[in-house]
Amino acid sequence: MSVSTHRRCQLTIIAEYVLEEKLIALIGRLGAHGYTVHEVRGGSFAADGERRREGAGETDRTIEMKVICERATAESVAQQVLGQFSDHFSVRVLLAEVEVFRPGMY
């Protein structure tokens, strides 16, 4: 039995927890078929090497949302997320090509 794969895009959005419901509504409105959300912690390093931690407090929580979809949908979602939220919230948006086995799901 041969299994075929199909190209899609994986859009990853790392954002403040307070944006979760708005992001869910946005991706649904723009045509994504589904998503996965996890609460995550991360950090960065200052120029002097000092570690800065994000998501350390109860009100400073971060989510990672993954959406697998057609490229046009991913680009549309990314544009809207950056346009609506990046000026006032911590938001990171990543895009990668992936191969899926069941294209109708995405």
Residue matched to tokens 């680009």: 75
Phi-psi region of 13 (alpha: psi -120 to 50; beta: other; left: phi over 0): beta
| Residue 53: per-residue pLDDT | 62
Q: Rg of the chain over CA atoms, in angstroms? A: 16
What total number of domains does the chain contain? 1
Q: Is residue 26 assigned to a domain? A: yes
pTM for the model stands at 0.85
What values do phi and psi take at 95, rounded to 5? Answer: -135, 130
Packing angle of the helix pair 20-29, 71-85 (nearest 10 deg): 140
pLDDT tens column, 8-43: 999 999 999 999 999 999 999 999 999 999 999 877
For residue 28, what are the domain limits? 6-105
**Considering the domain boundaries, does residue 1 fall inside one?**
no
Q: Is residue 30 part of a domain?
A: yes
40-92 pLDDT, tens digit per residue, is: 987 778 777 777 665 455 557 899 999 999 999 999 999 999 999 999 999 99
- How many Å apart are CA 76 and CA 69, to the nearest integer? 11
